[in-house]
Amino acid sequence: MDVVNNSEKALGGLTHLRQDGTAQMVDVSSKAVTTREATATATVRSTREVLALLGSGELPKGDALAVARVAGIMAAKKTPELIPLCHPLPLSKVTIDFRVDADSVEILATVKTKGVTGVEMEALTAASVAALSVYDMIKAVDKHAVINDVQVLAKSGGKSGDWSLGEGDRH
């Protein structure tokens, strides 16, 4: 029987793959603790009538934005349970904000920690689940709503430094 050595060097410089091509959780124990923050977005597109109901809190299921805010916060905290190679992190802050327009609602999820690895996945998970929650709350009045434009907008902290997308760089 062959013994698998979990400390094998990464394959081709990819940190989540060992030399034999199998997945591994990256060892972050030697990384410096820094304050890290990431903001991600997701957009739910619907009709003007539905977005008017959403903005006024008059949807048949109730206040969709309040429910989506809590769902997004809960999702950020559950990220390592959903994404197999994510590290559990002590999250210090999660905010979910909304921009309601005539035909869409943009969800902005910002996650912050003081740790050894970034929170981009937590921000993406929060934005995605908040969008799914909005969809769930409006599907009774619009089964054709669409979720799209899920992406990281900005990150700060860590070895790779700070960056953000400009309005023209967004998908």
- Structural element, H or E, at residue 97: strand 91-100
CB 150, CB 41: distance < 8 Å = yes
142 catalytic? Reply is no
Which of 103, 136, 142, 162 is catalytic? The answer is 136
162, amino acid identity: D
DSSP letters for 116-133: SS--HHHHHHHHHHHHHH
DSSP 30: T
CB 155, CB 120: distance < 8 Å = yes
Distances (CA, A) of 126 to 7, 86, 129: 32, 14, 5
Catalytic residues: 136
